Chain A
Amino acid sequence: MIGAILLEIPFGDMVHYLSEYTVVLFAFAVIFVLLAIVSLPEKPIDIVFGTDGYTVKETPKDLGKFQRFMAIACGIATMGVIITGDVFNFTLLAAIIGVLNIGIVAGVKNRHVLSAAFSYGLVVMMATVPLFAGAAIILATTGTLSIWELAATGGVPIVAKLLLLIGVFGEGMAPFYIGKAEITRASGAPYILMIHVSSLLLFLRLVEILLTV
């Protein structure tokens, strides 16, 4: 594990933990969940060229609520990814982050945004293959999925690590797909941040796992 262990939460035989490294990531996720809870959706303003006129895009109230719910759920899934001490839970929560990232923009009635989200959805679904395959090969070769035991014994095949990495590439690709399309085309700013934050934290946690096991 990177850094000293600060907190252990035993839950049956699964022991969740926060180390000096992951506690920073966890705090980051908490801050952005709180931001999603307290902030109101922004109203993007387009300046009309050649005049001093402008147009305001209002976010419908139910869309704002839906996006807020999805952003909070995504933040909680991100906390789960950070705190878990089990490789399979990690992969599962990573896949859930992928779905929730689509969910954040799914309510936007804009063809371009929906096209981007659809393409990303296909990538997310395909990425579950290497993700779960990586976890399955780890289990088949070492006999355990607990990060604690893997850290003690080692012996995780490089193939499994690579598969996990490819899977997280797919799940965490959202900022390059929907994030950009959404920011440039539609409203909903404070909640869109969660797409970026969750992907970033997912990568950083994966780095910790790959260096530990």
Chain B
Amino acid sequence: MMEFIADMDLIYKIGLAVAFLAILISFTAFVREKEDIHKLIIVDLIELTGLVVIALIATDLAEALILPGLVVGVAEILAVSELWLTKEGLQRVPTVKRADIEVLHTAPKIIGALLAAYGIFLTGFTGGLIAGLGLALFFLGMNTSENFSSSESASGYAWALWVLGFLVFMIFPSQWFFALMLAAVGIMIKVMAKISLVGTMRGDGS
């Protein structure tokens, strides 16, 4: 134990000390809090301090470890907050009023098409994000009643492509370019479908 502390770099020691101080402070906050929803928010804060400890590794690997850690954290907070909503019976949908904005009737078609085309040209995660933003803008402006199950299934197939790309990477490393292209197109469609769904969230329960 003493040996372990002596072996570390000074900067890592300082970082760990600060991180554990933050963990201590956030846990104290949790113990003092009585309200359920505030507890939930503080727990999210506590999770972030855990990510700080991972970040202290300070190599490329730290990033590879933070991402899944973050994803698990987000999944947990989604599950638990959904649980809290059910527990408190707070799942009613508020009524919405529409602001009739002129520019949202005309602009989204052009901007959406441009962004989608540029996104497809870029491919990969960035391309999916940009094309998705275009679609989100389109759906936000145009009050369309699309059938989203088809875009959802496209996203499902795209995900399968992405996984296939990874398998090719691992099993036939010589075909890396093919695998890269599979993964790039797959993730592009996947991200695009997911982001475009944001544009349909009008809060009217549809």
Contact = CB atoms under 8 A, between A and B. Distances in A.
A115 B73 CA distance: 20
Contacts of B62: 136
B51 interface: yes
B179 to A, nearest CB: 13
Interface in A101-147: 102-103, 106, 109, 111, 114-115, 117-118, 121-122, 124-126, 128-133, 135-137, 139-141
Interface in B74-132: 75-77, 79-80, 82-84, 86-87
A137 B7 CA distance: 12
Contacts of B49: 129
A54 interface: no
Nearest to A108: B86
Interface in A146-165: 157-159
B199 interface: no
A101 B8 CA distance: 37
A118 B56 contact: no
A115 B84 CA distance: 8
Contacts, number: 109
A95 B72 contact: yes
Interface residues of B, number: 42
Contacts of B57: 136, 139-140
Contacts of B4: 141, 157-159
Nearest to B3: A157
Interface residues of A, number: 37
B54 A103 contact: no
B170 A12 contact: yes
Contacts of A179: none
* Chain A at the B interface: SS class: helix
B95 to A, nearest CB: 25
A15 interface: no
B68 interface: yes
Contacts of A141: 4, 7-8
A63 B19 CA distance: 42
B56 A126 contact: no
A135 B66 CA distance: 11
B146 interface: no
B72 A118 contact: no
A75 B46 CA distance: 28
9 contacts: A92-B69, A96-B72, A111-B87, A121-B83, A125-B46, A125-B73, A129-B46, A136-B62, A158-B4
Given A102-B83, A126-B27, 12 more contacts: A99-B72, A109-B86, A111-B87, A115-B87, A122-B43, A122-B80, A124-B80, A132-B51, A133-B50, A136-B65, A141-B4, A157-B4
Interface of B: 1, 4, 7-8, 12, 16, 19, 23, 27, 30, 36, 39-40, 43-44, 46-47, 49-51, 53-54, 56-57, 61-62, 65, 68-69, 72-73, 75-77, 79-80, 82-84, 86-87, 170
Interface of A: 11-12, 88, 92, 95-96, 98-99, 102-103, 106, 109, 111, 114-115, 117-118, 121-122, 124-126, 128-133, 135-137, 139-141, 157-159
